[in-house]
Amino acid sequence: MAAKNIKTIKILGIDTSCDDTSIALVKIQDTRYKILSNVVSSQVKLHAKYGGVFPSLAKREHQKNLPAVLNEALRFASLSQGEIDFVAVTSGPGLEPCLWQGINFAQEIAKKYKKPLIPVNHIEAHILANLIEGSPTSFNLPAIALVVSGGHTQLILIKKIGRYRLIGETRDDAAGECFDKAARILGLSYPGGPIIAAEAAKYKIQNTSHKLQLPRPMMYTKDYDFSFSGLKTAVLYMVKQGNYDKIEMCREIQQSIIDVLIHKTIKAAKDFGVKSIILGGGVAANQELRNQFELKINPDANMSGLRPKRRRNQKSKIKFLVPPEILCTDNAAMVAVAAYFHRAEKVKNIEADANLRI
Ligand code: KG4
Ligand code: ZN
């Protein structure tokens, strides 16, 4: 019997939406997504002294880093330019000057390689990061996706890949932004999420008595929206008053954000009768959030036996998907995967759209 001829597609993805310059090569065969390379050049140290991302500085860094990141991605994947089928780039949402830097570079590359260029929505890419190195049937649809990053906190109903309905989002600060701003108030470095998480992890070890209580904004409202600016203000108020334990404060900030995110996501999952809950975005790298989501969805799960990489809930009716931590924060492999679903669309003009909606 003749071997089945399965077409392999190789996509080069580029993401410069915020402060990471990333280029990846992903091979897609038989609806399986394999990362050949996923290079992320982080500008964290540069922006740390400003306590957040400085757009014009980030743009200049992207410009400087892109050629070297491309070479590294090609070298690591052992691919030549001729072996690439498509070039993909994040066109939004994100910081406009940064997005343009990636788009201009992608246009040059696509022209040089004589390959089609595909624009990608960064939010969709965060969701589809869950398909990478998973099975083709990873998504049990309909699903609710919670995208939690430095710029977004959104609940999205997915009927099928490519058909999304935004059902709720933050009315002010994003969850990641709240971590970052709270860290700044506490005199901690940027990005605040992983730093607050590391401080919070010391809480159990210290066994400090728990006195401090922060609000859980909008946790019980009937809609699917969020609000985190009040939480940040409450932290500021307590810090000004003094007399607080930093570790306990970090633990309470993290727990407040986790409580709200889990409560609202599970409410949405029940209301819409979905088959899976899908996480994405930098805040989804938070270990406590991942553990507590898993426990809430599947109370029988033995956490110690679960690998932090990818957790799939077999027993309960709702399947829980979260990418490996490295694919939660910004990367270009997720951009290449999202582009795969849009490769047949003809796009004439690619423009940066800082506020692009899903
Ligand atoms: O998705 P991402 O890399 O970039 C955006 O698209 O915004 O998300 C960055 C955000 C930052 O606010 C950062 O503090 C947060 O994700 N973050 C975390 C963790 N790792 C990154 N928040 C909580 N816990 C973490 N482990
Ligand atoms: Zn992102």
- Rounded to the nearest angstrom, the distance between the alpha carbon of 281 and the centre of ligand 1 is 7
Q: How many CB atoms lie within 10 A of CB 270?
A: 11
- Rounded to the nearest angstrom, the distance between the alpha carbon of 151 and the centre of ligand 2 is 7
In terms of DSSP bridges, do strands 86-92 and 8-15 run parallel, antiparallel, or are they unpaired?
Answer: parallel
Residue 307 has a pLDDT of 40
Ranges 79-88, 278-287, 341-350, most confident:
278-287
**Ion ligand 2 contact residues with beta carbon within 5 A:** 149, 330
**Separation between Cα atoms, residue 41 and residue 62, nearest integer Å:** 9
Three-state SS for 185? helix
- At a CB cut-off of 8 Å and minimum separation 6, what does 323 contact? 129, 130, 132, 279, 280, 284, 310, 334
DSSP state of 310: -
More confident residue, 211 or 234: 234
Ligand 1 nearest atom to the CA of residue 17, by list position: 6
- pTM of the predicted model as reported, rounded to 2 decimal places: 0.93
Which DSSP string corresponds to 223-257? SS-B--HHHHHHHHHHHHH----HHHHHHHHHHHH
Q: Is 19 in the pocket of ligand 1 (CB under 6 A)?
A: no
Dihedrals phi, psi of 158, to nearest 5 degrees: -115, 115
The amino acid present at 312, given as its one-letter code, is R
Indicate whether 220 pLDDT > 50.
yes
**Separation between Cα atoms, residue 146 and residue 153, nearest integer Å:** 7
Domains and CATH numbers, the chain: 3-129+329-340 (3.30.420.40), 140-322 (3.30.420.40)
Q: How confident is the model at residue 255 (pLDDT cuts 50, 70, 90)?
A: very high
Indicate whether 305 pLDDT > 60.
no
Four-point Cα dihedral 22, 27, 33, 37, nearest 10:
-30
Average pLDDT over residues 281-287: 98
Average pLDDT over residues 93-120: 97
Sign of the four-CA dihedral 168, 170, 176, 182: negative
Indicate whether 13 pLDDT > 60.
yes
Residue 343 CA neighbour count, 13 Å, CB half:
17
- Rounded to the nearest angstrom, the distance between the alpha carbon of 181 and the centre of ligand 1 is 12
Indicate whether 317 pLDDT > 90.
no
Ligand 1 nearest atom to the CA of residue 126, by list position: 1
Ligand 1 nearest atom to the CA of residue 281, by list position: 1
Q: How confident is the model at residue 194 (pLDDT cuts 50, 70, 90)?
A: very high
SS (H, E, C) 254-293: HHHHHHHHHHHHHHHHHHCCCCEEEEECHHHHCHHHHHHH
Ligand 1 nearest atom to the CA of residue 149, by list position: 8
- Rounded to the nearest angstrom, the distance between the alpha carbon of 82 and the centre of ligand 2 is 29
What is Dmax (Cα atoms) for the chain? 77
